[in-house]
Structure 1
Amino acid sequence: MMTPAALNGFGSLISFILSISALRDWAKLLIIGSFFETCRRLLATLWSSTIDSFFLTASFEDYDDSYKWMMIWLSKQPSWKNVRNVNISTSERYLGHAPRSEEELDPSGKPKVSYLPAVSGSYTLWYKYTWMRITRISEPIPGWGPNNRDSLTISILARNHDILNTILQDAKKAYQDAQGSSITIYVSDSTNCWRELATRRKRPLDSIILDPGIRELIVDDAEDFLASKRWYAERGIPFRRGYLLYGAPGSGKTSLIHSIAGELELDVYIISLSRSGLDDTGLSELISDLPERCIALMEDIDAALHNSLSREDPPTPPNKTAEPIPIPSPGLPTHTTSRVSLSGLLNALDGIGAQEGRILFATTNKYSSLDPALCRPGRMDLHVEFKLASRHQADELFRRFYLPSSPKTPVDDDQEPNSNPAQSHPNGSTHDGGSSNLIDLGIPENTVDSPLPSPPACSEKYERVAPTYIGMRHRGHAPKLSSEQLSALAAQFASAIPEREVSMAALQGYLMSRKSRPLEAAREVSAWLQRELATKKAESETKS
């Protein structure tokens, strides 16, 4: 309790302070300033609340698929062409990847430009009688050099989410229509984030020629898995499926995966275990960030983890010394190799953080070198062997190769429409004009595969030397074959192929070199096989 003397002293101090006119003026300014600042903040909050009650704001980041939806949707809006500040682009990244119609191409056959929101700009447009403002921002990623992260913000004059849901549905449909007959390929970057690499056209399933039943086995199993999410949930089983495709190189493993991705309309995420700088933690992050419906692809898994998967380096011959390991020079950048271990891979595949709903495909050419823990059910549920080509596959490949072209395939300008169909072709085939069962390969028949053109005239002091090359030129025109002729040639071709001696890739390469000469392809395959098998034998003896 303060004494009367203390109270008198405190009162005297206050009186002294108030007697100073400058301090009184400062106190008045402080009070007035605080009052106006409080009012300003209240008004700003009130204004923001009022605006928020009438506007709906949505943000889209470039690492999310919805960002691509909106960019494609905006590029297709008619009102967007009236915007005064835009980015011009012919890139397919935001324009879709479906085959372009003639209206979307200029007279030279190149794609037309499209309008996209310029960075750091705001634009207004009307959509279905609704006003909206669009802002696109690009910000650098700290610590990652020149990389930027884009975002798109849309403010809509609306009280509820109905118009936003409509826009999202329209944008998604526009994206799906733009994708058309394509699938998207993703790879991981140095920050362990998924980035779009490219788009590829869907490959028809019937273009993959395998032993009977293999294609149907994998496709039916994958379709049944994708439709069984509820069944897995009711039984508490992780909703994951793994396929291990093993066998000889060039037997169609990767081609089948490409075709299945198109058939099931799934994007492909390539997991490169040998990527520089990738470790167990980064691998777990990548797999946990996979979307629910996708294909995760690990190619040549035996080679990617040769140390962990018991694929040892070949011993150094006694008459040779080991090559010294190069030492990087000071000041030059060094690249760290992958540090993924087998245990890290196993935990990433079926650990607690592993994504569910994805389909994993792994390929290998050396099945026996894989660790049993990697191949067990739950990680690799279905193991399918791909063998070298059979006679059945050779027959089907030949028929597929020389099928008639699509009616929409453009015909060369030098085709003569009134040429006599009942003529003997230079390669020895004859065909009767007017037959309804003729197979037209879509290539003019009146032009034969000619030798290389002679070099242009030059001074006699220079020697004329014909160019030297290896392989068959991508030129020539095929005859018209009837169905019976094609069947006979396919049978002749297949009968010359030994069972399980050459790969389908080798047969396809052989037919590619004779893509317009089916008679030669069937007649010369035996000689080609002798050379091919002799080369393989020599390579095998060299390795041993």
Structure 2
Amino acid sequence: MASYFYIAQQVLSTLNGNANGGNATAHAEAGSPPVGGLASVTDFSSLLAFLFSFGALRDWIKLIIFGGILETMRRMAFSLYYKALNSMWITAHFDENDSSYDWMMVWLSKQPSWAQAREVEISTRSFGLNTSAIMVPGEEDDNNLSLLASRKLAYLPSASLSYSMWYRGRYMSITRVQAQTGYYGQKEETLQISILTRSHRVLNELLLEAKKDYMSAEEHSISIYVSDVNNSWRHVASRPKRNINSIILDPGVSELLVDDARDFLESKAWYAARGIPFRRGYLLYGAPGSGKTSIISSIAGELGLDVYIVSLSRAGLDDSALSELISNLPEKCIALMEDIDAAFTQSLNRDAVQGPANAPAPDDGRPPPPGAPPAPSTSRLSLSGLLNALDGVAAQEGRILYATTNKYTALDPALCRPGRMDIHVEFRLASKFQAQKLFYSFYLPSDETAAADDAEKDKEDADSGYNSAANTDVDAESTASETDVMPASEKPAFFGTSHRQHAPKLRRKQVSVLAARFAEAIPERELSMAALQGFLMTYKIRPYEAVNAAREWVESEREARLKKAQQGQTQAAPAAAEPAVAAETNTEPVAAEEVKAL
């Protein structure tokens, strides 16, 4: 600081000396008339001497110098103050698009101190959790079923306000900021947490606690992520894990997919030692409704992996955007590309004869006719860009890729080669084995002990599966009153039956007999598993009627497919792997007493 005063002293002495010299010169030449005026100033030093000869200018220069010194000292003092203050605080910022933001918001909503806050924001946002992890205190104790069935309420920090609380003896300040960003003025939130401590240990403990609480609440769920227009992954939902045994496939298919994926996740060192890219791809192809997407969801729950949906037909998606999305995937996750054959306006085969890509449809000003195909996708993705994203230089390692398609022959061989799609699994139409297993799992009671105890009471049940209190089907006419008569032409058309009663409690052996007879009525490799499940849902609580109506339903499905094929509205019905012989088997209806005698 002494150096500043020394410099100021030297400058002021120079100014005074120049001023005195200028005055002496002026007095010496006062008697003679000025010759040339300012023209006598021939160099820079003479110009300065002339300027400093004015007393007002010297005073202004002194003020500027002293003011500059004082302002510099003030800024240095405040800089040292804020530096010392910031050294006592640790501040963390959480972006809304990041998973850590959800961790902290759920953790904050569970803190008891929010119940005493004077200004909070009430929200029904679950932050990806469909559990009671976040709710208003006392809400979980309410016996009102309608209240419990509605969306949970939670206390959240109000935007643009700072809150104070204590965490493990440390003072903590919380601020939630909302700002409009982007071309469309979208709101983005940022959570700022400041902790009065010099060590990162407290922040690490806070993050670990929030993450563990969130993961424990999501223990029985899988997270679903989708990409947004900014090519960032956004968490959209959490879905309950599905038991792998609930997916009825051909023997060995589920075990193959699960065991191979588990072995891949445990073989990172093996891949690195041999210089093989740590990636794995699965191509699931076959008939629609055969369980391709369902098995992927079950594998994600079995291995504890999140699912990242890559929509190749997203508007605005091009090669660089897809490469960015794939490179931003976490190391252990499932990347899902559904209906990869339908993601382009042309076939994914370089040998196919195709027209120009994304050719615009002729526009004559008239709306498209009903039933016309949708407009071409606005995606600018190319086959080369897709191949480079899967195993190019920027491709993420450690991820598991699942691609599904209904048209295996439409895919280019370069896309299906090992390294991109390592395992190909065909999902065929339902077999008799699958039909029997589906029926068995559909009607098997969850509590077999209770079913055995009440077996004697079920002997009086009618063939429909209802108890004696309600022995008839529920249709539209039974729900209307006698005075409320509607003309037959105006009655609403609907399909299916309502489920107002409880299903009969069957023993394991009884269900096995019914499942075997149901499988006899189902033709081999002619119907999809989705169609069978939809049929059984119609008879959700009536297993006997499901068996008796199976043959008639199969014939109606055949007639419907034949009619559509003749009209040219859909593709030809898929050929059965084996001739259907179900119609030639025993057609006698199944009686409830016959099965219960077992």
Interval of TM-score (by shorter of Structure 1 and Structure 2):
0.7 to 0.9
Cross-structure match for 2:9: none
Q: Distance in 1 between matches of 2:173 and 2:194?
A: 5
Cross-structure match for 2:154: 114
Q: CA 1:28–1:513 in 2, change beyond 3 Å: closer, same or farther?
A: same
What displacement does 1:446 show?
3.5
Q: Which amino acid aligns with 2:539?
A: R
1:97 equivalent to 2:130? Answer: yes
> Equivalences for 1:248-397 in 2 at 5 Å?
248-305=287-344, 307-310=346-349, 325-326=362-363, 337-397=378-438
1:208 equivalent to 2:247? Answer: yes
Cross-structure match for 2:33: none
- Among 73, 87, 90, which residue is 1:53 paired with? 87
Q: Distance in 1 between matches of 2:417 and 2:96?
A: 38
Cross-structure match for 1:128: 168
**CA-to-partner distance for each residue in 1:350-395, whole Å, 9 max, x for gaps?**
0101111111000011111211100011100111111111111111
Cross-structure match for 2:545: 520
> Equivalences for 1:447-526 in 2 at 5 Å?
447-448=470-471, 449-452=473-476, 453=478, 455-456=480-481, 463=487, 467-477=491-501, 478-526=503-551
Cross-structure match for 2:270: 231
Q: Which amino acid aligns with 1:485?
A: Q
Q: CA 1:11–1:361 in 2, change beyond 3 Å: closer, same or farther?
A: closer
Q: Distance in 2 between matches of 1:338 and 1:216?
A: 36
- Among 166, 172, 179, which residue is 2:205 paired with? 166
Q: Distance in 1 between matches of 2:84 and 2:282?
A: 56
Q: CA 1:111–1:304 in 2, change beyond 3 Å: closer, same or farther?
A: closer
CA contact (8 A) 2:346 2:354 kept: no
State, as a whole percentage, how many aligned pairs show the same letter.
52
User: Which stretch shows the higher mean deviation, 104-113 or 516-525?
Assistant: 104-113
Aligned residues: 505
> Equivalences for 1:11-26 in 2 at 5 Å?
13-26=47-60
Q: Distance in 2 between matches of 1:516 and 1:422?
A: 14
Q: Distance in 1 between matches of 2:410 and 2:45?
A: 94
The SS at the match of 1:421 is: helix
Q: Which amino acid aligns with 1:98?
A: T
Q: Distance in 1 between matches of 2:530 and 2:488?
A: 37
Q: CA 1:146–1:405 in 2, change beyond 3 Å: closer, same or farther?
A: farther
Q: Distance in 1 between matches of 2:467 and 2:103?
A: 43
**CA-to-partner distance for each residue in 1:139-159, whole Å, 9 max, x for gaps?**
22232x131222112111111
Q: Distance in 1 between matches of 2:447 and 2:178?
A: 45
- Among 177, 194, 210, which residue is 2:233 paired with? 194
User: Which stretch shows the higher mean deviation, 230-239 or 163-172?
Assistant: 230-239
Cross-structure match for 1:139: 179
In terms of Rg, which structure is larger?
Answer: 2
1:63 equivalent to 2:97? Answer: yes
**CA-to-partner distance for each residue in 1:4-25, whole Å, 9 max, x for gaps?**
x999986665454334232122
CA contact (8 A) 1:105 1:111 kept: no
Q: Distance in 2 between matches of 1:40 and 1:375?
A: 69
Structure 1 unaligned runs (5+)?
316-322, 410-417, 430-442
What displacement does 1:167 show?
0.4
The SS at the match of 2:86 is: helix
What displacement does 1:483 show?
2.0
What displacement does 1:419 show?
13
Q: Distance in 1 between matches of 2:490 and 2:524?
A: 40
Q: Which amino acid aligns with 2:344?
A: L
What displacement does 1:281 show?
1.2
User: Which stretch shows the higher mean deviation, 154-163 or 85-94?
Assistant: 85-94
Q: Which amino acid aligns with 2:215?
A: Q
Cross-structure match for 1:435: none
Cross-structure match for 1:88: 122
CA RMSD of aligned residues (A): 3.1
1:532 equivalent to 2:554? Answer: no
Structure 2 unaligned runs (5+)?
1-24, 26-39, 367-374, 573-598
Q: CA 1:8–1:93 in 2, change beyond 3 Å: closer, same or farther?
A: closer
Q: Distance in 2 between matches of 1:281 and 1:220?
A: 34
